[in-house]
Structure 1
Amino acid sequence: MTEHAALIAPAAAEFTGILCGIGESGLSARTPCAEYDVRALLNHLLYWGPWLEAAGRKTAPPEMSVGEAEAGLADGEWLSAIEKQTARLVDVFGTSGAWQGMTALGAAEMPSSIVGDMVLGEFVFHGWDLAKATGRTLDVAPEAAEAVLASATAMGEQARTMKVYGEEVAVAEEATPFERALGVTGRNPGWTR
């Protein structure tokens, strides 16, 4: 899946564009992820981003003294922090080397390409979540839509078992690849705030 490396930078650019439009008042908006408002989703991204980066660099994961819910990472200079984190993820996963061989995400060993697809999915799916929550539109390239559909389908059952994805949402027969990918992850493509 090293060809997916080329999808990372454009997806990150779209994602960052959505982030830049979130004002202080938007932080309490609900998102399509039922357990997260915008602030909690940003906290989630800031919490797990260093783990993904470490997996891409094939280095030890960060040591966390608190869990995600207690981390409080989406306060203060959250936009600068997430922009820098996104740039580091692009730096790592925008090259084919990060997609090759095996790596560890925490204690779990897995193919590096799976972690790369997770990063792409973070930008695309959570970018969509944040866009929907704030009344904006995320532009997903056709190649990125096909890539996240393939990876979401491949990981679907395991991700649902681990409560990473919700129950699959049925989509219309004429749904686009991205709408089908949203459905696989448990998101309703027609979600409104």
Structure 2
Amino acid sequence: MGRREKTRRSPVAAEAPSSGDAVHDHCWARDVKDAVRCAGALLTLLLLVDWGSGRFTLWRGLLWLALALLLFLVLFPGRVSAGGGWMASRRLLGKRRVRTDQLVSVRCLDGVSQRLLLRDAHGARVEIDPDVLVNNPALWHRFEEGARKAAADGLLLCGQTTLRRLAARIDRETALAVFKASGLE
């Protein structure tokens, strides 16, 4: 009768409060448009080749459409945002959020495209493209602020070298942009 429902709190329930001063990846919309263009170009090319060879059928057209959709899903970028003490990546299937002020690990995953894997003390993890941080100084500032706090608190046990390399890369890119803008290339 007076049964109270218990709400389960996930490990990420200890998140930093959402603040109104969150920053977002300002290149995200352009990256989505690029993904649409690539998928559209592939679909157009496949349909034209099929039509030109005289082998076009409805089923083949649907197959090419499915292939173009698959390419779009692979190329679809995550929308990265950050605030005071947190960083999040929203993808098609959900949002992942990590506390940057409680990071325990920052790893660089090499492969076809380089990825940065962030893990916090609560077990949450976020995977982002390091270029997002390079191209968005405000995101980098928020991330570095939290990572510095985690390192000062002794939580960040793995990833100091990765952070130094990323900071050096960002400094290099910023200096090149300043030289380019001032005509001192």
Larger radius of gyration: 2
Higher relative contact order, structure no. (Cα contacts within 8 Å, ≥ 6 residues apart) = 1
Query: TM-score scaled to structure 1, two decimals?
Result: 0.29
Q: Which has the higher helix share?
A: 1
Q: Which has the higher strand share?
A: 2
Query: TM-score scaled to structure 2, two decimals?
Result: 0.30
